Amino acid sequence: MDKLGVFLCTGCGIGDALAVDEVIGAATEKGCAATLTHGCLCAPEGLAAIRGAVSEHGLNGILLAACSDRAKTREFAPLSSEVPAVFRTAIREHCTWSHPADGEGQTAEDTTMLAQDLVRMGLARLNGMKQIVPLHEEIADTVLVVGSGRAGLEAALTAARLGKPVLLVEEASELGGQLAHQVSIPPEEPPYDAPIPNPVPGLIAEVKADDRIRVYTDTTIAKITGQPGQFKLTLSGPEAAEMTIGAIVQATGAKPYDAKNLGHLGYGTSADIVTSQDFEAMLSAGAIVRPSDGKKPHRIAFIQCAGSRDDNHLRYCSSECCVNTLRQVAEVKKLEPSIESAVIYRDIRAPGHMEHFFVGVQKTAEMMMTRGDVDKIEANGKLSIHLSNSLLGDRVQIQADLVVLAVGMVPQSADGELIRELIDSRHQAEHSESSQVRATSAKRADELKHHDGTEILHLGYRQGPDLPTLKYGFPDSHFICFPYETRRTGIYAAGTVHAPMDSAQAAEDGLGAAMKAVQCIEMAKRGEAVHPRAGDTAYPDFFLQRCTQCKRCTEECPFGTLNEDKKGTPEFNPLRCRRCGICMGACPERIISFQDYSVHMVAEMIKSMSIPEDYEEKPRILALMCENDAVPALEAAAANGATWNPWTRIIPIRCLGSTNIVWIAEALSAGVDGVILVGCKYGDDYQCHYVRGSELANTRLGNVGETLQRLALEPERIKVVELSHDEFDRVPRVLDEFSAELEAMGPNPLKGF
Amino acid sequence: MASIPIVESTDLRAEFFERGGENAAKCYQCATCSSVCELAPADAPFPRRQILLAQWGLFDQLMGDPAVWLCHQCNDCSVRCPRDVAPGDIMASLRAMVVEKLAFPGALGSLVGNVRKTWPLLVLGPILFWAALIGITTGFGEVETHHGLQPGPTMGQYFYDALVPHSLIYAVNFAAVGFVCLVLLVSGSRFWKMMGDRQTRRGSFVGSLIGVVTDIALHRKFASCERGVPSRRWGHFMVMWGFVGAAVASGFAVVFLYADTPPFSWFFALPFFEDIGYPVPITHWNKWLANISAVLLVVGGIMLFANRLKKGDKLVGQTTAFDRFFLWLVLSVIATGVLTEFSRYLVADPSVGFAVYVIHLGVVLSLFLTLPYSKFAHIFYRSLAMVHQRMTST
């Protein structure tokens, strides 16, 4: 943009802390077409003043130097549709609130210099910004639901009720999934004290009666290519079909953990040791008998955590087996009141309303319970359960006639990324020129071969044919912040494939995922990003003439946005994109740019900072901060009266993963004394909105250290800090500690060159 | 180390659940009860463990468990229990079960244990026995009393020994007491051995016994655990001391009766013991002792009874047939005893007084005979358990 205006708000104490004329002066020096100060920019008068200046001077870019872009969004948002480029710099939070002129260690001069730099950086950003032209693609309305358990059925019905055509695909010959033949389910409404009838048969009837839902049984997915709104689906089954769909809900459920692995609990040594699923079949048949002799058992022992929370089996808690056992105990009492039920648990997990159910079952069923570790179960006519660490005594045996193992659930997912690795390894093992690579690839392919044939969605994605899985094979994303998202835009996991859950949660999950799927279709129609930059219409542009086919972007994108052609040139699918800029940070050729965010724009912002040569008084520090967690934390700190050194210049960035190494180089060669990057926590319990952004940034910066040493610069001049959204109290400490470390190191030797 | 097979008794479990223990199945072992209990020793807290054992039907482990008796049922635990298990009630039901299962002979234990059905026999039996005995011996006719005194305002309008000679009372009641002592010796030694098998006793028996008697005399355990029902503590205190006073007064009455017979004659060398003949007038100090005891018994009895009327109050707990039988028996003894005395002064017709007196003798006999099998046995088992605890903790 070339005709820029700067609008400085002097309200909220901004005007009192600054030499307003000098800040405006900095803007004028940069050749702005218009400058304006106003006591309350967000008031109707202020907005009218902005609009007046825009039309008077024909401005095509405006800088609102006022509050954070998290504040007063309703007031300022309409400007974005009136002016081609709008940029907001948070003078209030980043400068005046956190650097009051009368604050300790602060001077009006430093505060004004900070505000001047913020204005200069904002103008530099606006200079590079281009008008956003949203995508307008043809978007299919149909929602594909894969799997017809409770989550799938609820998802199909929800999408249909929201007016979308639905395809419900089921691999088995009948609908219903794991719950299809269960006699009852745990209660879902007050008083929550007794099992309720299984709702699945009713849901199946409802789905079959709904003419907006097309049901395909005995059918699997042969292929899905394309992007949200435009997925090309090929089905394989009795009615082979090809069609275009908008979004996908994967509700493929979970299967019970294979009890054959539970030899230590005697499974296989006696016909009278069965799983909860085997026992459920007895309950459905209405006859509780010992499989060995067909006699009615006197006592049934339920063993909880059979192969769960166990390093040798499933390491996690499946969260519903305890309540399921309580339900089975209640059913036993109903069917055969004379049979005793004993429950051996590690700790009964009956969360939320299920506590009432636990109480209800205890009241009616007269069951026996004890904590205890099962050492072994011996079968000789009766079953003898050897317990240690039990409440009944350290090492005791108790007798039962039938043992029910409450096994956990294993998600019916496929690990897309590992399948891709398997394919790549096989290819390398055959085609690599190096015999060493051929050997290691062959070995890796052998390690991964159990993933062969596990594909479910058969996605035509560079990064693999299925959703990437996180812990324990569940294709979860961030379960608190965005529970339905997977790492593939427009594909939502729901039900027990998503995370271990009970029937009620699966229903809710199916409903939520279907709503996300519908939202995805609607936003795709408007060319908007769905998540987490919901509503963003900008998307990256690839200047492919300069692409060197290094494949970094295609490999590093956490969302599989990019495919590759045969040569390895990226093929961009904008509707899959989440706009994080991780590809932009990865690209060594810097050919990936958004209309409003690019390597060039941020580099220009860095270059626009004024770097005083007199280090002793005025060091300069660049802080690149994640706009999702670190910047809100910083602004919360400012709002709470925290202050920090006036030498740090903060540039909010979309994700630490979008950090291009060029920015660090630019900053250090400009004479900045140090660069601090503040991003989200990464690792197993990551908090990154883009899953891997902060981790990737850390890896990239690890490689930069050597380069710095070659330039005779200390690697400690670059620092990466993990900070979560709620740690606002740490912000001043983090910034001031880095400032003190730099002071100890002395000035950047490149300053002034 | 091999694991120990644990022996469960499903039949007993069903019986226990029927007799007020069914709430044990609601327990989920949070141990709130053990945490709030003021009486539970830190190294062997109760009642969580006892409830678990009851839930599983492991009564073998509970028979010789002193904890069952250390509980004074203040019901703090029942108030705090998040599952409405009412651990205080469970412990009470366990005590009933222990009394029944340790009883000798077992058949009598079951007879009283099954009191919900057998109570008419247990009460009417002794009354009819007395009626029959009197019918056979004196034919309900007046017999000559050996003292030859005349009734009067301080003496009452008639004498009961004119209907029932003292010798008859000795014959029946001394036999009953002898039987009770024998039975308690058998049951008590079983119980004592069971506790000893679980935990070695070290301290001195006599020393511990003195401590326990002091504790009981002052109701110290009640004092340390009582929260919401002071009437239970004081009611129990009065009834206990009322019985003690009545027993002492009865003993002295015998002394006065045989003032001229060795070995009692030496008493009359002591101050206050002058030979005033028999019956003693109502103004005599021994009568005062007896009447004060009667007042304690009546007031205490009413307090305990009123307490039990508070249905649904967790601090009171449930009242099982076992509780009810003992309470009514005690109240009957008190009521008939007091009425027996009043009749003599207030009702001219001796047949009313004599009828009340026969009933009184009957319920007293019932109280004696059922002592080892009814809730009354707590006086014995709890004392032993408290002695055991003192001997193991010193």
Residue A625 belongs to what H/E stretch? strand A621-626
Give the confidence band of B344 by pLDDT, cuts at 50, 70, 90: confident
C-alpha distances (whole Å) from A195 to each of A187, A365, A407 are 5, 12, 20
H-state helical runs in A467-581:
503-525, 552-556
Q: Is A409 helix (H, G, I), strand (E, B) or coil?
A: strand
Q: CB of A697 within 8 A of CB of A710? A: no
Most B CBs within 10 A among A304, A398, A401, hence the mutation to make, goes to: A398
Residue A375 belongs to what H/E stretch? strand A373-380
> Number of A:B CB contacts under 8 A?
63
Intra-chain end-to-end CA distance of chain B, in Å: 31
Neighboring chain A residues of B58 at a CB cutoff of 8 Å: 392
Burial of A582 per CB tally in 10 Å (0-12, 13-18, 19+): buried
Tell if the CB–CB gap between A396 and B6 is shorter than 8 Å: yes
Q: What is the mean pLDDT of residues A709-738?
A: 91
Q: Is A730 helix (H, G, I), strand (E, B) or coil?
A: helix
pLDDT score of A117 more than 60:
yes
More confident residue, B150 or A484: A484
> Given this model, what pLDDT does residue A105 score?
67
Neighboring chain A residues of B55 at a CB cutoff of 8 Å: 368-369
Tell if the CB–CB gap between A366 and B8 is shorter than 8 Å: no
> Among positive and negative, which fits the CA dihedral A147, A150, A154, A155?
negative
Most distant CA atoms of chain B, gap in Å: 81
Tell if the CB–CB gap between B4 and A386 is shorter than 8 Å: no
Residue A224 pairs in a beta bridge with A233, A459
Q: Which of A358, A362, A393 sits opposite B4 (nearest CB)?
A: A393
Per-residue pLDDT tens for A668-684?
Answer: 999 999 999 999 988 87
Angular region, A432: left φ>0, alpha ψ -120 to 50, beta rest: beta
Most distant CA atoms of chain A, gap in Å: 96
CB contacts under 8 A, B 192-221 vs A, are none
CB contacts under 8 A, B 23-82 vs A, are 25-29, 49, 52-53, 55-58
Per-residue pLDDT tens for A381-390?
Answer: 889 999 999 9
Tell if the CB–CB gap between A391 and B6 is shorter than 8 Å: no
**What type of residue is B87?**
P
DSSP A41-107: TTSHHHHHHHHHHHHHHT-SEEEEESS-TTSSHHHHHHHHHHSSEEEEE-HIIIIITTS-TTSTT--
Structure tokens at B126: 């002794």
Task: Report the predicted TM-score, pTM, of the whole model to 2 decimal places.
Answer: 0.86
What gap in Å lies between CA B197 and CA A599, rounded to an integer? 83
Q: Is A396 helix (H, G, I), strand (E, B) or coil?
A: strand
Angular region, A581: left φ>0, alpha ψ -120 to 50, beta rest: left
Q: What is the mean pLDDT of residues B356-364?
A: 95
> Given this model, what pLDDT does residue A493 score?
95
ipTM computed for the complex = 0.84
What gap in Å lies between CA A553 and CA A540, rounded to an integer? 12
Tell if the CB–CB gap between A298 and B25 is shorter than 8 Å: no
Q: CB of A374 within 8 A of CB of A221? A: no
Tell if the CB–CB gap between A298 and B10 is shorter than 8 Å: yes
Residue A735 belongs to what H/E stretch? helix A731-745
Residue B5 belongs to what H/E stretch? strand B4-5
CA distance A398 to chain B (A): 6
More confident residue, A35 or B148: A35
> Given this model, what pLDDT does residue A222 score?
96
Q: What is the mean pLDDT of chain B?
A: 89
Backbone angles phi, psi at A541, to 5 degrees: -115, 135
What gap in Å lies between CA A287 and CA B242, rounded to an integer? 61
Backbone angles phi, psi at B73, to 5 degrees: 50, 55
Cβ neighbours of residue A107 closer than 8 Å, sequence gap 6 or more: A101, A646
Most B CBs within 10 A among A357, A363, A385, A388, hence the mutation to make, goes to: A363
> Given this model, what pLDDT does residue B240 score?
96
Give the confidence band of A483 by pLDDT, cuts at 50, 70, 90: confident
Considering only CA atoms, which of B59, B58, B94, B52 is closest in space to residue B73?
B94
C-alpha distances (whole Å) from A152 to each of A88, A321, A415, A470, A503 are 43, 21, 20, 21, 12
Q: CB of A483 within 8 A of CB of A512? A: yes
Q: Which of B4, B17, B57 sits opposite A395 (nearest CB)?
A: B4
Chain position carrying tokens 């039901």: B93
CB contacts under 8 A, A 398-437 vs B, are 398-399
Q: What is the mean pLDDT of residues B60-78?
A: 92
Structure tokens at A365: 């069923």
Considering only CA atoms, which of A218, A175, A217, A173 is closest in space to residue A200?
A175
Buried b (16+ CB within 10 A) or exposed e, A592-627: bbbbbbbbebbbbbbebbebeeebeebbbbbbbbbb
pLDDT score of B64 more than 90:
yes
CA distance B6 to chain A (A): 6
Residue A342 pairs in a beta bridge with A301, A368
Tell if the CB–CB gap between A395 and B2 is shorter than 8 Å: yes
Give the confidence band of B228 by pLDDT, cuts at 50, 70, 90: low
> Given this model, what pLDDT does residue B146 score?
57
Long-range contacts, B332-337 (Cβ 8 Å, 24+):
B332/B123, B332/B359, B332/B363, B333/B360, B333/B363, B333/B364, B333/B367, B334/B242, B334/B294, B334/B297, B334/B298, B334/B301, B336/B360, B336/B363, B337/B246, B337/B294, B337/B297, B337/B364
Considering only CA atoms, which of A486, A485, A501, A470 is closest in space to residue A684?
A470
Q: CB of A354 within 8 A of CB of A321? A: no
pLDDT score of A241 more than 80:
yes
Buried b (16+ CB within 10 A) or exposed e, A104-143: eebebebbbbbbbbbbbbbbbbbbbbbebeebeeebbbbb
What gap in Å lies between CA B100 and CA B59, rounded to an integer? 12
> Given this model, what pLDDT does residue A616 score?
66
> Given this model, what pLDDT does residue B256 score?
78
Q: CB of A264 within 8 A of CB of A403? A: no
Residue A636 belongs to what H/E stretch? helix A630-639
Q: Which of A358, A387, A391 sits opposite B29 (nearest CB)?
A: A391
More confident residue, A325 or B20: A325
* Torsion of Cα atoms, B251 then B256 then B259 then B262, to 10°: 0
Q: What is the mean pLDDT of chain A?
A: 94
Give the DSSP letter of residue A392. Answer: T
Per-residue pLDDT tens for B231-264?
Answer: 888 999 999 999 999 999 988 888 777 777 777 7
What gap in Å lies between CA A209 and CA A154, rounded to an integer? 14
Give the confidence band of A615 by pLDDT, cuts at 50, 70, 90: low
Neighboring chain A residues of B31 at a CB cutoff of 8 Å: none
CA distance A368 to chain B (A): 6
More confident residue, A143 or A707: A143
Considering only CA atoms, which of A323, A263, A265, A325 is closest in space to residue A300?
A325
